[in-house]
Amino acid sequence: MDLRDSAEEAEFRAGLRAWLAGAVPVTTGPDGAPPQGRWGDIEAVRSYTRALHDAGYAGLTWPAEHGGRGLSPAYQAIYLEETARAEATEHIGVIGLGMVGPTIIACGSPEQRAWYLPRILTGEIIFCQGFSEPEAGSDLSAVRTVARRDGDELVVTGRKVWSSYAHLADHCLLLARTDPGQRRHRGLSCLLVDLRSAGVTVRPIRQMTGEAEFAEIEFDEVRVPLDAVVGAVDDGWRVAMTTLAHERGTFGFTLTARLDVAFRRLVATAKARGRDTDPLVRDQIAARYVELEGLRWTNRRGLAALARTGVPGPETSVIKLRWSQAHQRLTSLAVQLLGGDAEPDGWDPYWRHQMLRSRANTIEGGTSEVLRNLVAERVLGLPRSY
């Protein structure tokens, strides 16, 4: 495992840093670091997405024949690191770019590739993911949304929840049961659904931060053409697993880079409060740094495995699990430095947002309980938990 950039990777990183320096507005918060707000101005995000595509930074690892650059995952990892450190906004179609697009490339028809892929790259089509359901918990195979056959159409009825950015999306990669006689992993299909269709209702879910990153989607007799099925009918579990493999992928580099940004702010906050000489505070900051470095090394191991096999391994679950806990501990320490007994309205806006937002880290993207089971079974080889 080589932690250094190759000459080509170093050149790419330098070029990306230079581009970001001109593309990302330079503003500073009270602690001297740029404020976070990646989705505050949607028109600004759309404009940034167009610039990102024009500069060749959208679809870095997509095959060239599908509009990408055909680069290795190492370049995507560099991109995620540098954009997170610059606190740049994301491509407005981040889910389509990182999850749905690669799924269509791997499992979609030639017609689906020709129509969707170019529009995902430019941000013209924005996807969300419709997997989780209100009564299924973390059990993806317990899907109750039904898609019944009616001629050359499927009629979809059901509900999805916790769909990231669904209120911005115009399309959804939906997992539904097409054979109600089958159970668990069988009889499922993945569909590309236009959310502007009759019978679709999207309800944003307001979080305690005041934001609405997630939404609930209701499908009431929504008609979807049969050619919108990705892969074969009743083969949706394989397609969904392809999507989830790409969801993990190199995303740990984004999480770790964002944690690095938060850590630098933590140090700045300790200095501003005159707490950086307190040995107890220094000990806690050192512990947070050790966690950050552990995540960096684990990311590199995962990237090395991805380069060997071409498939993200179960080790990525370790990254998400430990990151979620590390972020919560870091924000809790920051709040202590600000005076934990003070009213939250008086806290620094950045840390108030981070503290509230971090509460969901151990739930979203796979709960910590589910991830521990994955690590136990697939990494450590322990018996299956029932």
Point out the residues that are catalytic.
247
Q: Please calculate the CA angle 25-80-124 and round it to the nearest 5 degrees.
A: 70
Task: Give the whole-angstrom CA distance, residue 72 versus residue 69.
Answer: 9
Q: In degrees rounded to 5, what are phi and psi of residue 218?
A: -110, 135
- Listed as own residue / partner, the contacts of 56-62 with beta carbons closer than 8 Å and 24 or more positions apart are 57/16, 57/19, 58/91, 58/97, 58/121, 58/122, 59/97, 59/101, 59/121, 62/101, 62/102, 62/105, 62/117, 62/121
Give 222's DSSP letter. E
Q: What is the CA radius of gyration of the chain?
A: 21
Q: In degrees rounded to 5, what are phi and psi of residue 267?
A: -60, -45
SS (H, E, C) 233-262: CCEHHHHHHHHHHHHHCCHHHHHHHHHHHH
Task: Give the whole-angstrom CA distance, residue 343 versus residue 291.
Answer: 29
The answer to whether 261 and 292 are in contact (CB under 8 A) is no
Neighbours of 25 (CB within 10 A): 10
Question: Hey, is 308 helix, strand or coil?
Answer: helix
Give 97's DSSP letter. I
Question: Hey, is 242 helix, strand or coil?
Answer: helix
CA-nearest of 361, 353, 30 to 211 is 353
CA 227 vs. chain centroid, Å, equals 27
Joined together, the tokens standing for residue 89 give: 């906004």
